[in-house]
């Protein structure tokens, strides 16, 4: 079995593969205060919950946008499985030609998502990841990662809004029945869901205009399930995109 981990600013998304089959997808909280033993205990508890033997793992891979926790999580995985995870970064084989100003600054999560998207739909393609930040990554028709854009994440923007206003409440991010909200909660939900969907539609049109051709669009991330159906442009939601990308990168590098 292969253990894959994608560490974001809010959550660590974890997957277990047997070959190309995803056996388990789960999440742990990203907490900069936790020590490696605490993460090790959480991993062991998770494996017990799903009746997985730590000794059965033959490989592990980690992508991260939280560098201070890289050593901590790698050490935790090593304690539990006896394996040192492959850390996605400069020098990792991905099959993607990175054509941005400084390839070393590219977020590992963006690269992993691009690898999985190209495997799924070929190139060109556009990848949206709706997490703590909302990111879009563009792969052109030559298979080169050209860059993209970064926007405030949906919940990040909502939290900022509610924390800096006296009358706006915290809400769940669900699509309301109508775009025109008739109460405060519905107005906030409309802005969060339909506003983000409209942003995706508009940015997709601008990106394709700049490229000079159309490209399939994939959406992933925790809030993608709610927002993808509200897009007017054609998009595909894939919840396990980054986990699958990590599996593919591990296969390219395991020799």
Contacts of residue 222, Cβ cutoff 8 Å, sequence gap at least 6: 11, 130, 131
Give the closest residue to 217 by CA, choosing from 127, 132, 140.
127
Q: Are 5 and 73 in contact (CB under 8 A)?
A: yes
Give the closest residue to 42 by CA, choosing from 68, 5, 67.
5
The CA distance from 77 to 4, in Å, is 10
Active site includes 109?
A: yes
Secondary structure element (H or E) that encloses residue 116, with its range = helix 108-121
**Of residues 6, 101, 109, 174, which has the active-site annotation?**
109
31-44 burial, b at 16+ Cβ within 10 Å, e below that, comes to eeebebeebbebbb
The HSE-up count of residue 91 (CA atoms within 13 Å, CB side) is 2
Give the closest residue to 16 by CA, choosing from 243, 239, 238, 245.
243
By annotation, the residues acting in catalysis are 109
């Amino acid at each position: 079995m292969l253990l894959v981990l994608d560490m974001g600013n809010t959550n660590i998304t974890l997957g277990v593969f047997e070959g190309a089959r995803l056996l388990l997808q789960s999440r742990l909280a990203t907490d900069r205060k936790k020590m490696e033993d605490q993460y090790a205990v959480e991993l062991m508890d998770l494996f017990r919950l799903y009746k997985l033997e730590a000794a059965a793992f033959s490989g592990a891979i980690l992508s991260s946008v939280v560098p201070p926790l890289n050593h901590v999580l790698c050490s935790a995985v090593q304690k539990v499985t006896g394996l040192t995870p492959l850390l996605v970064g400069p020098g990792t084989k991905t099959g993607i030609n990175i054509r941005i100003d400084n390839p070393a600054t590219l977020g590992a999560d963006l690269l992993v998502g691009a690898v999985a998207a190209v495997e799924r739909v070929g190139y060109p393609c556009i990848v949206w990841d709706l997490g703590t930040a909302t990111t879009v990554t563009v792969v052109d028709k030559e298979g080169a990662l050209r860059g993209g854009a970064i926007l405030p994440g949906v919940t990040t923007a909502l939290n900022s809004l509610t924390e800096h206003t006296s009358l706006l409440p915290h809400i769940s991010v669900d699509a309301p029945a109508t775009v025109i909200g008739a109460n405060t909660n519905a107005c906030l939900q409309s802005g969060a869901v339909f506003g983000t969907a409209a942003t995706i539609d508009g940015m997709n049109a601008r990106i394709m205009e700049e490229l000079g051709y159309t490209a399939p669009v994939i959406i992933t991330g925790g809030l993608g399930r709610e927002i993808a159906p509200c897009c007017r442009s054609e998009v595909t939601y894939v919840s396990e995109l980054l986990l699958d990308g990590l599996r593919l990168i591990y296969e390219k590098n395991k020799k």
